[in-house]
A and B are shown apart, each in its own frame.
Chain A
Amino acid sequence: MIKFEEVSRIYDGQTRAALANVNIEIDKGEFVFLVGGSGSGKSTLLKLILREFRPTTGRIYVAGKDVAALPERKIPALRREIGMVSQDFRLLPGKTVFENVAFALQVIGKPKSLIRKVVPDTLEMVGLGDKSDRKPDELSGGEQQRVAIARAFVNHPKILLADEPTGNLDPETSVGIMRLLDRINRSETTVVMATHDWAMVDQMRKRVVELENGHVVRDQARGIYGARA
């Protein structure tokens, strides 16, 4: 589903590579934790999958597409196959929960009838079936993140990327979010989650890819956070 071949990325004006000679292969339906300190290259890796920029060298395949070679006009089609959740939720404050989730379908031209059917189901799935008329500022942090996840998942993407989705949440709430992502993963969605949350990683026993200074230093099936091989 996702394949990095000798991928390096050097940002403009910098000499050190944010990502250096990375090789990763993630299969359909896998759940992968991406761990490592700040500046280790986790976010760069996620952005490369989204084609926010091209790799400096190397090849990246996402959902069967050669992302590095993808022409700009085909980026929207790629992103429709990927859901993205970030630490800061990125909800639209003026819109209700329903509208926030519906927005993701509206802007890719889905018909109203479909939106009316799919959005409530998705909100139900993330456990916010009764809060669809609330505005984001009336919700707790965990609830806001559930809205963001609903928005990322409502179009049933093949891949869900999560960049520190529990970074702003307390441990108890984080567990709920983690369970939700696990459930999404069980529906055949590939999930890649960048995190600092070692307790979560230890508990889940999923594949762990650790980055340090842009290098992959560990790729371990059923790994835990701290165990450096």
Chain B
Amino acid sequence: MRHALSETLSGLRRNLGITLAVIMTMWVSLSLFGAGLIAAQQVNLLKDEWYDKIEVTVYLCTAKLQTGGNCDPGQDATQEQKDRIQEAIERNPEVEFVIYESKDEAYAQFLDVFKDSPIADSLTLEEMQDSFRVKLVDPQKYQGLVSQVQLMRGVQKIQDLHQILDPVFKWLAALQWGTIALSILLLLAAALQISTTIRMATFTRGREIGIMRLVGASNFYIMGPFLLESLIAAMVGAVFASVTLVFGVWFVIIQNAQQSLEAFRWVGWTETWISVASIFVVAIVLSIIPTIISARRYLRV
């Protein structure tokens, strides 16, 4: 073990330039990779919040919310109106199912979603609306339902979030996959750098390695320093990338986005730690695998 450590240190010193290159490539690529993961989690978070639950929401009149022209002045939608609306929705062949959500439920859910946010205080129960949440068989075919229901008495407004969110999510997904693809390219570059480093090292230390093999040094003894060397470079890169990521999350999300764009849920430290853990896993895998492959190739017994 002592041998491995001292050999590793001298190896790192000998290949300082290329080691730094590996560290920097790892740093940038792992940062991008982590950012991509966080972006993916952010998108999922938003999707969970908006997408899966509601596709079309039919909001009903309340005493406070009367705009739209279908409300009886000054009062909530009546039970009779609700029954008729529900019947109409249920009869529509495009509808998969419909859920009635009272304003109490809506308020409770709102409080649950924003429990850690100052936004929780911004709405009162009275400002919530009873609604029908409609899941469509095909989310693209919302138009029939809208025209069927929008003029019924008691309907305050119809909201189809798909229309608003689709383009946003498309762009976010493109961004997130672009980031991850770019990071994978860079990670491949790092892996190639590692295998080149080892090939060079086996040339400069060819005589030594030859003697080791001849006198029966174990494979691990010969490969150990190389493994440690690339592992250390990758770990240093991973630490830098993690710091970058944590700082980025803190600055972009905790300090800014969460303050100025309160209406959305944002990723927090849990998601950040998941990304950091993934960064380390990827760093370990991407340093050990090319090392073993090239060592097997160049250090053959």
Binding site for B on A (CB under 8 A): 50, 72-73, 75-80, 82, 84, 90, 92, 103-104, 106-109, 151-152, 155
Contacts and interface: CB of A to CB of B under 8 A. Distances in A.
25 contacts: A50-B214, A73-B219, A75-B216, A75-B301, A76-B216, A76-B219, A77-B216, A79-B214, A79-B215, A79-B216, A80-B216, A82-B216, A84-B214, A90-B210, A92-B211, A103-B215, A104-B211, A106-B3, A107-B211, A107-B221, A107-B222, A108-B215, A108-B217, A109-B218, A109-B221
A50 B214 CA distance: 8
B213 interface: yes
Interface residues of B, number: 16
A76 B213 CA distance: 7
A50 B218 CA distance: 15
Interface of A is mostly: helix
A189 to B, nearest CB: 15
B208 interface: yes
Interface of B: 3, 207-208, 210-219, 221-222, 301
Contacts of A109: 218, 221
Nearest to B301: A75
A152 B217 CA distance: 13
B77 to A, nearest CB: 78
Contact of A155 (B215, B218, B222): B215
A41 B252 CA distance: 71
A92 B216 contact: no
Contact of B301 (A72, A104, A108): A72
Contact of B207 (A73, A90, A151): A90
Nearest to B1: A109
Given A90-B210, A108-B216, 9 more contacts: A73-B219, A75-B216, A79-B215, A80-B216, A90-B207, A107-B211, A107-B221, A107-B222, A151-B211
Contacts of B210: 90
A212 B3 CA distance: 45
A139 to B, nearest CB: 17
Contacts of A104: 211, 215
A225 to B, nearest CB: 28
A76 B211 contact: no
A108 to B, nearest CB: 6
Contact of B216 (A78, A90, A151): A78
A152 B214 CA distance: 9
